[in-house]
Structure 1
Amino acid sequence: MDAQRLSDLGDQFFAAFRLDEALDAYSRALALVPRHAGARAGLDAILERARTDRPNPRLIELMLAAYADPGANWDAVGWGAAHQLVVGWPNPPDPERLARDELLRAFLTKSLNRNPALERHLLALRTAVARSLVSGSATSELETLAGALAEQAWQNEYLWPDDPSVTGLAAAMFRPPNDARPAQLEEQRLAASIPSLAPIADGVSKAVAAMYEANPYPRWTHLPRRPPVDVRAALGRDFPHAGPVSPPDGPHLEVLMPGAGTGQHPLSVAASYVGARVTALDLSRASLAYGKRMAADLGIDNIAFLHGDILDLPTLGRRFDHAECVGVLHHMSDPKAGLLAISAVLRWGAFLRLGLYGEAARRTVVKARREIALAGLSADLNGLREFRRRVLAGEWRALASLVESEDFWSASLLRDLCFHVQEHRFTVARVRALLEGTGLRFLGFEFNAGSVQRSVDAPAIALYRIRFPAERTLSDLSRWEQLERERPDLFPGYAFVCQ
């Protein structure tokens, strides 16, 4: 059996929750074709979910192989790796033994920790390693571990508690070094080379830009390998009721990515969408410079970075064949004005992917924002650390579920989650109101988009089909609105496609 058939078989096993068989199929596919993107994604998804009562040698071996593959999804693998580290943590702790743990070193340098139990272990380990460094008794292995802990500190943007008494080389595990990293110097150089669409005039846009200048979002270090995709053909299959599309006006599929941030999503699109030429627009030069540096590091050259406000897009004088704007409009002063500006530069028949916050899913965040205001916490590193301290200490019990969010674990992620200067939240009714008068037609929600589980109907889809069997397109927002009224927690957020 060839690698593609094995990968497809793995997907079938995954969809049936036969994860041991799926793992075997994906592993066999990768043994035949080590760079097979589908098998890599499937195996990483299993490693992400892997939970055992004690360390599992086979899982650890597969995780180490994933960390050795720059095309693997290290963020996903990190969830499972953190669990393996927790169940295998020595009691009592033994820093010398931990310094020899290959999985721990790989995890610290390539994944952001999002496990509260492991964070407690790592904080204690950091203290022990710092003492050894300060006393001059550290072995070479402990020095290597200190470097890995310093890299983890860089990844979480020094969100862990500081200890001002620690100085010298050990301080790199606690706070930013006095000298900028070479990558940061390169980003400062690149920022000046990024052209601007127009001066930013909107007050909220200026505030949002300042926030992301201080904390470029998100901080990322690698790009998981994705199989090439003809995105318009794929969306045509997913939404067969869609209308026809215009052929590209040239050799490239012109793709607009407004709200590009540090470029992770746009670069993934540039690397995987067949024939794409991407324009990545953002308010923050610092964020765009991060993305431009990563594009050069990854050898991706079919992308251009542009500084500016979505509101000024109609002045660009260009049209696009496809656009994706995920997690952006809800941070604008007027999301509808932003959507109208995007719609104005789309060619006839173009698809637009959107992603918006859901009101129900953000209830805890709303409570957090209220507590932050009452406590007078600032959005700087000290305020972020104090907020986390109170949540982790159980002082704000109503906010305990925040530790389950993947955005609780680094400074830029946490600031975006709970300290943002502007946030709108949506319901299906508000989505419908947003789209009215824009010239965009709602095609349908996307569930498990980009996931190995795409073929598995989300509970919301199953419910819709049971309730409205005659409406086969799943695109009637009034019916989705009815379901949401009955089940307010139906949507964690809204990912959908328009045309």
Structure 2
Amino acid sequence: MRKRESIAQLAEHALRLAQVGEFEGAAAFFEQAIALDAGNLDLRYNLAVVEENLGHIGKAASLLIQVLQRKPASPFAAASQLSRLFTRYRVDDGAVLTAAGLSTALQTRDVALQPITEAGLQWLSTQNADWRDGIRRIASGEKSELEAGRAILGKLRHLGRAEHEMLCLCLREGIVKSIDNERLLTGVRAAILLDGGRTLFDDRDHFNLALALMVQGWNNDFAWAETSQETDAISALEIERAALLAADMPTTRAFLCAALYRPLEEIVSPPLGVDDMRVLKPKSFRETLSAQILERADRDAAAKSIPAVGALSDATSLKVARQYEASPYPRWKTVQRSAPGALQRYLGRLMPADCFAFMDKECDVLIAGCGTGQQALMSATAHGPKARLLAIDISRASLAYAGVMAAREKVTNVSFVQADILDVARLERRFDLIYCVGVLHHMADWRAGWRALLSCLKPSGLMNIGLYSATARQGLRDLRDHPDYPGAGCTDSAARIYRRSLLLRDDGTAASYVKQSRDFYALNTFRDLVLHESEATVTIEEIAQFLDDEGLVFRGFALDANVLQEFATLFPAAAPAGTLADWAAFELLKPHTFDGMYYFWVERQDKPAAE
């Protein structure tokens, strides 16, 4: 009894110190408590949070992995904290991570899994000798991707059960966002196809990896390039629909090989449907395909029920809509839910509290240009059930994706409507807050689009805007001026070939800009980044002029804390948000600050009516 009381007292002291920012003392008390109760996972989790605040990132990651490796009954908190940690930091010390702990995190719902996927593949590429050797030999030219891929398949059993499970989960739950890992896995895929998939049903590890690579193809929109040898091999595959539904193993093997490279609807005609799933074998193959086919059926059904306001008529809007109908952007699988009050705490560092006081009561929020809904769902959870969110987009396919994901994530305070920003007045609603990130610069006139949104913003309302920086995207303009640029309307095959050419170019060229982008690694995001049908860039001076013309007040950029600290050091007299003039000077010194885009907050301050 005394021991339990002592542990509770130590934990209480630690929490009290952590609340007032005395993290070193909190860590000491948590360490003492863990020494008395080594199996207490809550103590380890709380210590991890404290260690992160102390800047001990490796130790924080190690503690979270320890919690997850012990398979807690509720892994959400630890997995979510680990995901946020990997989003902000890179953990180079592979010794602090384990495949078992990462696997538990990758199987946790309601957690953003992409950062964990990337950490898992990074861990594998440094900790597994065969994997590391394959990457090295490809990079040095000692082996082709195919040769290195065959070597990996031949040594797959050396991975170990936990490592193999983690690899397959990484491929299923995220997108490979590493050129080295992509090249090695491209070789593994080629080895499976060109060797006829002969080991797929004889080796469980090979089969499970092939299924995971098939899902990775869906995740990255089949971005990986293929050689002419692979294209010929795919064309030579004999796949009869009737034989597949009769569970003929050679046909199933051929179908799986083709599905590593092509969408399911392109492999057999008519495409497999929900009713076909019950006869497919083996079970894991059937279950993997079923998930994709059910998802496609859900989206088709959702697309029919989405209401529309107005009809698209603007020439640029129609062109952009066609792009996103064919290639909804982005294809995502998980959403990070915000803790209650986190958004208000963040905004409190940029602006006075009365600017966002409306968030504490019922309010109306517009997501203008929601795409496939990831930001809309994140915003819905951040604002909570008191907020009424409306998400609009010009692409019905994208809205269908968003609607299905909202139902899956059980987010009920957001609705979806097909509408052009130019027609937003037809909604006949006014909003306390409007999000429009990464949209206005794809319109024929970004100023006209922004003014249309202002027409439905309430007095003293807030806007969260994202616009491309002319300075940061200079490298992309250089690519578009190059003779080998395939053009925005190119085929998927041409887009893959062009992407591959950029992947293989030396760093220091214009290709470096796009290779460093997180949007480089899936075909729909690559199109949005490099091959968009309509794109403009702006300068901070142009933004400042627009704000002045429209009576808007700049309330700060959304940037990493390290960048904000660097800005504060260079401009110590600036208010917390800084001024646009100061930020323009900062961008001259640091031209890659806004590589993503200018992502910022503004407040409407309408002039009082004249007496």
Smaller-chain TM-score range?
A: 0.7 to 0.9
Q: Distance in 1 between matches of 2:129 and 2:375?
A: 35
Is contact 2:392-2:417 (8 Å) kept? yes
- For 2:365, what is the secondary structure of its paired residue? strand
**Aligned ranges 1:314-353 → 2 under 5 Å:** 314-353=425-464
Residue among 122, 133, 145 paired with 1:83: 122
**Aligned ranges 1:3-402 → 2 under 5 Å:** 10=48, 13-14=51-52, 16-23=54-61, 34=74, 40-47=79-86, 49-52=89-92, 56=95, 58-87=97-126, 88=128, 90=130, 91=133, 92-95=151-154, 96-97=156-157, 100=161, 101-131=164-194, 133-135=196-198, 138-139=201-202, 140-162=204-226, 163-164=230-231, 165-166=233-234, 167=237, 168-169=254-255, 170-178=257-265, 179=271, 181-229=293-341, 231=343, 233-234=344-345, 237-241=348-352, 244=355, 247=358, 252-274=362-384, 275-371=386-482, 374=485, 378-394=489-505, 397-402=509-514
Deviations 1:225-265 (A, max 9, x none): 3212374x4365223447556747x9732111001000011
Q: Distance in 2 between matches of 1:158 and 1:245?
A: 42
Is contact 2:369-2:392 (8 Å) kept? yes
Q: Please report the TM-score for the alignment, with normalisation by the length of structure 1.
A: 0.88
**Aligned ranges 1:441-480 → 2 under 5 Å:** 441-448=553-560, 454=561, 457-465=564-572, 469=573, 471-480=574-583
- For 2:472, what is the secondary structure of its paired residue? helix
1:424–1:256: structure 2 CA closer, same or farther, 3 Å change rule?
same
Is contact 2:309-2:417 (8 Å) kept? yes
1:313–1:172: structure 2 CA closer, same or farther, 3 Å change rule?
same
In structure 2, the gaps of 5 or more residues are 1-10, 19-42, 134-150, 238-253, 266-270, 273-292, 604-611
Counterpart residue type for residue 167 of structure 2: L
More displaced 10-residue stretch of structure 1: 370-379 or 150-159: 370-379
Q: Distance in 2 between matches of 1:20 and 1:314?
A: 51
Q: Distance in 2 between matches of 1:258 and 1:444?
A: 20
More displaced 10-residue stretch of structure 1: 329-338 or 160-169: 160-169
Are 1:484 and 2:583 counterparts?
no
Shift of 1:458: 3.7
Are 1:498 and 2:602 counterparts?
yes
1:242–1:202: structure 2 CA closer, same or farther, 3 Å change rule?
farther
RMSD: 3.0
Counterpart residue type for residue 123 of structure 1: T
Q: Distance in 2 between matches of 1:57 and 1:16?
A: 17
More displaced 10-residue stretch of structure 1: 116-125 or 23-32: 23-32
Shift of 1:435: 2.1
**Aligned ranges 1:400-411 → 2 under 5 Å:** 400-411=512-523
Give the fraction of aligned pairs with identical amino acids, expressed as a percent: 28
1:119–1:374: structure 2 CA closer, same or farther, 3 Å change rule?
closer
Is contact 1:209-1:284 (8 Å) kept? yes
Counterpart in the other structure of 2:242: none
Counterpart residue type for residue 161 of structure 1: A
Counterpart residue type for residue 267 of structure 1: L
Q: Distance in 2 between matches of 1:321 and 1:220?
A: 28
Q: Distance in 2 between matches of 1:379 and 1:50?
A: 36
Deviations 1:318-359 (A, max 9, x none): 111222111111111111111111122122222211122112
More displaced 10-residue stretch of structure 1: 208-217 or 65-74: 65-74
Shift of 1:395: 7.8
Is contact 1:75-1:112 (8 Å) kept? yes
Q: Distance in 1 between matches of 2:65 and 2:208?
A: 31
More displaced 10-residue stretch of structure 1: 284-293 or 389-398: 389-398
Deviations 1:433-463 (A, max 9, x none): 2323223211122222xxxxx4884422332
- For 1:371, what is the secondary structure of its paired residue? coil
Deviations 1:159-206 (A, max 9, x none): 222423133221110111232622122212211211111111211111
More displaced 10-residue stretch of structure 1: 39-48 or 170-179: 39-48
Higher alpha-carbon Rg: 2
More displaced 10-residue stretch of structure 1: 26-35 or 416-425: 26-35
Is contact 1:158-1:174 (8 Å) kept? yes
Q: Distance in 1 between matches of 2:485 and 2:591?
A: 28
Is contact 1:230-1:273 (8 Å) kept? no
1:461–1:201: structure 2 CA closer, same or farther, 3 Å change rule?
farther
When you count helix as a share of all residues, which structure comes out higher?
2
Relative contact order (alpha carbons < 8 A, sep ≥ 6): 1 or 2 greater? Answer: 1
